[in-house]
A and B are shown apart, each in its own frame.
Chain A
Amino acid sequence: MSKNRKTPTRPARKPLKAKPRIARPKAKPVELEADVAAQIAAEIDTAPPAPEPEPAPAPAPRPARVAACGLPFGHSPVDIGDPRIEEAPLWAAPRVSALRWALGIMLISQPVLLLGNTHALTNWANQQPVTPFSAPVLTAIQSWHDATARYGLDQPVARGAATWRALREARWPGQPPARPDQNG
Chain B
Amino acid sequence: MLFPTLAFHLFFVAVFLFSWSLRGSAEWQIEWRKIGLLVASWIFYGAWDWRFVSLLLLSSALNWIAGNAIHANEGQQGRQKLWLTAGLVFNLGVLGLFKYYNFFVLQLAPVLTSMGWERDLPVLEIILPVGVSFFTFQGIGYLVDIYRRDTPPARLLDLTLLMCFFPHLLAGPIVRPTHLIPQFQTAPRLTREMVAMGLLLIVWGVFKKAVIASEISIAFVDPLFADPAKHGSLDLLLGAYAYAVQIYCDFSAYTDTAIGLAALLGYRFPRNFDQPYRAASLQDFWRRWHISLSSWLRDYLYIPLGGSRHGLARTCLSLGLTMVLGGLWHGASWNFVIWGMIHGGMLIAERLWKEFRPANLPHVPHWLGVVFTFHIVTLAWIFFRCASFADSMAYLGGLAALAPGAVTAGPLVVGLMLLGMGLHFGPPRLMPAIALRLRLAPAWAVALLLAGCLMLVEAMRPDGVAPFIYFQF
Contacts and interface: CB of A to CB of B under 8 A. Distances in A.
Contact of B219 (A63, A91, A183): A183
A156 B455 contact: yes
Nearest to A179: B223
Contacts of B150: 64-66
A68 B436 CA distance: 27
Which of under 10, 10 to 19, 20 to 34, or 35 or more describes the interface residues of A? 35 or more
A80 B191 CA distance: 11
Contacts of A170: 410-412
Contacts of A63: 149
B443 A80 contact: no
Interface residues of B, number: 77
B151 interface: yes
A66 B180 CA distance: 11
Contacts of A167: 411-412
Instruction: Classify the secondary structure of B's interface with A.
Output: helix
Interface string A118-139: 0111011001000000000000
Interface in A47-103: 58, 61-71, 75-81, 83, 88-89, 91-93, 96, 98-103
Given A156-B455, A157-B459, A184-B214, A124 B149 contact: no
A161 interface: yes
Contacts of B460: 160-161, 164
A182 B268 contact: no
B167 to A, nearest CB: 12
A176 B446 CA distance: 43
A65 B148 CA distance: 9
Contact of A78 (B152, B263, B441, B445): B263
B440 interface: yes
A67 B178 contact: yes
A46 interface: no
A78 B194 contact: yes
B435 A101 contact: no
A81 B458 CA distance: 32
A163 B412 CA distance: 12
Given A101-B446, A112-B447, A121-B6, 5 more contacts: A75-B270, A76-B263, A105-B446, A106-B17, A120-B6
The 5 closest A-B CB pairs, nearest first, are A184-B462, A160-B459, A104-B443, A108-B447, A93-B442
